[in-house]
Amino acid sequence: MRSKNHGPTPASAARKLLLTLALGTAFTASSGCVYRMNIQQGNFLEARTVNQLQVGMTRSQVRYLLGTPMVPDAFDKERWDYLYFFKKGRWRKPEERHLIVFFKEEKVERFERNNVPDKSPTAPDKGAPIEKFPVI
């Protein structure tokens, strides 16, 4: 006489659990290779535009040059804060820039640059000219 199967045995249930755990661990370990997109937030502050900022400019001239500040200060109408945050990939330290523009009587009185580059990046060196390489 044959015995009827009344569900999984404890050994087969344990094997399924171990297989599930192994697959979950393998998936988690392989997720380290997943592409992480760059994250960019705030007003992009580059040297060529910030260098054009001058004492005496009006609010509308500053807004035209740099855009509307992302963080309006509700307590100080005479100060505009431009913030920029850029995180490239997963492991690199984020790049943060901060420009503070102070106004007096609707004109730029002074401004502070925090981690805003002084000059624009230059093109990389092109290397040796083709004429320097031997003919094959």
Q: How many domains does the chain have?
A: 1
CA atoms lying within 13 Å on the CB side of residue 110: 1
Nearest one of 91, 80, 78 to 53, comparing CA atoms: 80
For residue 12, pLDDT over 90 is answered with no
Residue labelled with tokens 């092109």:
126
In a domain, 34, yes or no: no
Task: Identify the sign of the CA torsion 24, 26, 31, 34.
Answer: negative
In a domain, 6, yes or no: no
For residue 109, pLDDT over 90 is answered with yes
In a domain, 7, yes or no: no
Q: What is the pLDDT of residue 55?
A: 92
Tokens encoding 97:
């820039």
Which of 12-16, 24-28, 47-51 shows the lowest mean pLDDT across its residues? Answer: 24-28
In a domain, 24, yes or no: no
Task: Give me the chain's average pLDDT, please.
Answer: 76
The CATH number that applies at residue 83 is 3.30.1450
Q: Provide the domain limits for residue 59.
A: 39-114
In a domain, 55, yes or no: yes
Helix residue spans in the chain (DSSP H): 10-30, 47-50, 59-66
For residue 28, pLDDT over 70 is answered with no
Q: Which of 65-74, 75-84, 126-135 is the most confident on average?
A: 75-84
Question: Structure pTM?
Answer: 0.57
